[in-house]
């Protein structure tokens, strides 16, 4: 049997992690990444494609004889890339456009969960400031205000007081920052508890849990400052007890898969379940229809069995007979970011020291590699990943490696994983 050719769509650390893993799978002969980054350029073959141009992607798939395409980010999924590629005969892993609404419309997700009694915060759809004020007067503050549509991870505002509520109304309705995405909003009860993410792969009928992780979304230590795409993560988290996993499977995963099947859009793809634990029970904060970034950078290296055969089994609808092998180790990733991130940041910094890392891994995100020179071109530049038999060992190992890499203005959080130590 000839080796398989795999195409990974996207350009971040998540996509580097996929490409890195596929190269280890014995079924895989060749890996392409589009558009990729400065690291995937050396790791595999970068293709300069516009992944939002579905026709261009299909032509490349046919041209190169790609056996499996994996979609990293949410935007192409929400745009229906899976529907288009599949209807043209390509084998692609990800949910269709309808099912992608679990992420691309917060209200679609909330309504379907409501219909199937999946535990979630109380919420109300609002389409004007007046609607939202009525809810505030009835429920009181704090409230969480969410743009219905995709807003690059910035569409959620926690309103603790009148002022932040007024600001949210301004951002959503008066001077809309997210355009059409906030034509409707979800006004939600604000839950309090610990958050974790559970990652599953689904074939439409059944699912397997890949692992759990905890992200660190704020820019500063101690979860302070503005939100980012994620500054670091660790996997698994001690918050994911057997009881929490079991409740998540019974009350969340099984019902949502059934709901999507009933709507004749069986859910195939990665499912990222963001939950908050309140009084020992999991509540859905959000679904994402893809893997997380940087969570993938810790979840995927802990998968000991083949990613290719797992996704192939999903596409063929035979996940039930697949056995996953997951490492018992703990993984930690620290994001090295450019100075200024998540606001405007500097680019073009020369990166040194990666070759000095002898333990752990370095996955590239916002890098460029041209004429033998590795430089930064993104806000989140590199992911350093360390492993250990315990979380504390994994943290130590990761930070030792972090110190060896340098670029001007290198910024990183010093407390990745510390939360997890407190849960033990």
Q: In the complex, which residues of this chain contact ligand GLY (CB under 6 A)?
A: 153, 215, 230, 288, 292-293, 295
- 257: how many CB neighbours lie within 10 A of its CB? 21
Nearest approach in angstroms of CB 232 to ligand GLY is: 10
Asked if 412 and 231 touch (Cβ cutoff 8 Å), the reply is: yes
Work out whether 67 is an interface residue with ligand AMP (CB under 6 A): no
Is there binding between residue 144 and ligand AMP (CB under 6 A)?
yes
From the list 201, 221, 226, the residue with the least C-alpha distance to 211 is 201
- 47 or 112: whose CB is closer to ligand AMP? 112
The Cα 326–Cα 261 span in angstroms is 28
Residues 354-383 that bind ligand AMP (CB under 6 A): none
CB of 334 to ligand GLY, least distance (A): 14
From candidates 171, 285, 291, 384, binder to ligand AMP by CB under 6 A: 285
The token pair that represents 26 in the structure block:
């014995």
Cβ nearer to ligand GLY, comparing 14 with 124: 14
- d(C-alpha 269, C-alpha 288), whole Å: 10
- Kindly tell me which of 227 and 346 has the beta carbon lying closer to ligand GLY: 227
191 binds ligand AMP (CB under 6 A): yes
In whole angstroms, the minimum distance from the beta carbon of 293 to ligand GLY comes to 5
How many whole angstroms separate alpha carbon 49 and alpha carbon 38? Answer: 15
Q: Which stretch binds ligand AMP (CB under 6 A): 64-72, 187-195, 339-347, 353-361?
A: 187-195
Q: Which residue of 119, 121, 176, 409 would you call a contact of ligand AMP, by CB under 6 A?
A: 121
| 52-61 b/e (C-beta count within 10 Å ≥ 16 → b) | eebeebbebb
Tokens 């963001």 label which residue?
Answer: 274
Report phi then psi at 126, rounded to 5.
Answer: -130, 145
Smallest distance from the beta carbon of 188 to ligand AMP, in angstroms? 4
Cα–Cα distance between 117 and 4 in angstroms, integer? 42
Binding residues for ligand AMP (CB under 6 A):
121, 144, 153, 156, 188, 190-191, 195, 274, 285-286
């Amino acid at each position: 049997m000839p080796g398989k050719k795999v195409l990974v769509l996207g350009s971040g650390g998540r996509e580097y992690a996929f490409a890195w893993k596929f190269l280890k799978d014995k079924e895989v002969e060749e890996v392409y990444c589009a558009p990729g980054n400065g690291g995937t350029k050396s790791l595999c073959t970068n293709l300069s494609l516009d992944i939002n141009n579905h026709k261009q992607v299909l032509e490349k798939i046919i041209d190169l004889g790609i056996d499996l395409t994996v979609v990293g980010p949410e935007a192409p999924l929400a745009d229906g890339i899976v529907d288009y590629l599949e209807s043209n005969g390509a084998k692609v892993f990800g949910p269709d456009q309808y099912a992608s609404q679990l992420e691309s419309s917060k209200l679609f997700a909330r309504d379907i969960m409501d219909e199937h009694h999946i535990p979630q915060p109380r919420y109300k759809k609002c389409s004007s400031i007046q609607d939202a004020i009525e809810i505030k007067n009835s429920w009181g503050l704090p409230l969480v205000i969410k743009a219905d549509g995709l807003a690059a991870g910035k569409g959620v505002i926690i309103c603790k007081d009148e002022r932040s509520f007024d600001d949210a109304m301004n951002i959503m309705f008066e001077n809309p920052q997210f355009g059409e995405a906030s034509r409707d909003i979800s006004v939600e009860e604000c839950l309090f508890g610990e958050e974790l993410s559970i990652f599953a792969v689904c074939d439409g009928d059944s699912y397997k849990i890949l692992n759990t992780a905890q992200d660190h979304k704020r820019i500063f230590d101690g979860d302070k400052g503005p939100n980012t795409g994620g500054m670091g993560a660790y996997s698994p988290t001690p918050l994911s007890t057997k009881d929490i996993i079991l409740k998540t499977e019974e009350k969340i995963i099984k019902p949502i898969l059934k709901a999507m099947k009933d709507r004749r859009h069986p859910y195939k793809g990665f499912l990222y379940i963001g939950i908050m634990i309140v009084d020992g029970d999991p509540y859905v904060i959000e679904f994402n229809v893809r893997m997380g970034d940087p969570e993938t950078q810790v979840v995927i290296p802990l998968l000991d069995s083949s990613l290719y055969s797992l996704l192939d089994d999903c596409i063929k609808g035979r996940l039930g007979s697949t056995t996953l092998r997951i490492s018992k180790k703990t993984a930690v990733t620290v994001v090295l970011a450019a100075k200024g991130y998540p606001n405007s940041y500097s680019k073009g910094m020369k990166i040194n020291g990666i070759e000095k890392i002898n333990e752990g891994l370095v996955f590239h995100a916002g890098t460029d590699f041209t004429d033998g020179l590795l430089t930064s071109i993104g806000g989140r530049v590199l992911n350093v990943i360390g492993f250990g038999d315990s979380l504390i060992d994994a943290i130590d190992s990761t930070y030792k490696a972090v110190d060896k890499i340098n670029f001007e203005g290198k910024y990183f959080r010093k407390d990745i994983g510390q939360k997890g130590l407190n849960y033990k």
